[in-house]
Amino acid sequence: MGSPLQAAFISFVVGAVALGVIVLFAPSRFPKDILVQTPWWAWSGGLLGVFYISTAIVLSPRVGALVLTSLLVTGQLLTALILDHFGLLAFPKVPITSLRVIGVAFLIVGVLLALPRQN
């Protein structure tokens, strides 16, 4: 594509067109009234998606599929641990336990083991 941002842009355009077609032919009506009531943080998903896709495009040729996927999953689970513990973004509160911390620690160790080594 020429640049990671151009590749991300194309990805989002194709996705937006596909979703537009699906919504157009969906049996339910578009919930315009709900859009006004949507909390501010719900709108951040699009921005975070841009960051996510752009970062993946930039990192994938540098770190490889294994490390990229390991980093993404570990980051998501760390975030989920925090969201659950504090009950953020309308998630129910689920306290951090030692077993949960150990599980995430294993993921972090897995990422470290998957990193490419210089010989």
**pLDDT at residue number 96:** 94
The answer to whether 53 and 11 are in contact (CB under 8 A) is yes
**pLDDT at residue number 32:** 76
**pLDDT at residue number 31:** 75
3-state secondary structure of 30: coil
Burial of 25 (0-12, 13-18, 19+ CB in 10 A): exposed
**pLDDT at residue number 118:** 61
What are the CA-CA distances from residue 65 to residues 37, 56, 61 (Å)?
A: 39, 10, 8
- The Cα 89–Cα 80 span in angstroms is 11
**pLDDT at residue number 98:** 95
Of 71, 50, 61, the C-alpha closest to 8 is: 50
Run means of pLDDT, 10 residues per run, the chain, 119 residues: 81 92 85 80 84 86 89 90 93 95 91 77
Q: Please give the torsion angle defined by the CA atoms of residues 43, 21, 10 and 52, in that order, rounded to the nearest 10 degrees.
A: 30
The answer to whether 54 and 8 are in contact (CB under 8 A) is yes
Neighbours of 104 (CB within 10 A): 16
**pLDDT at residue number 44:** 87
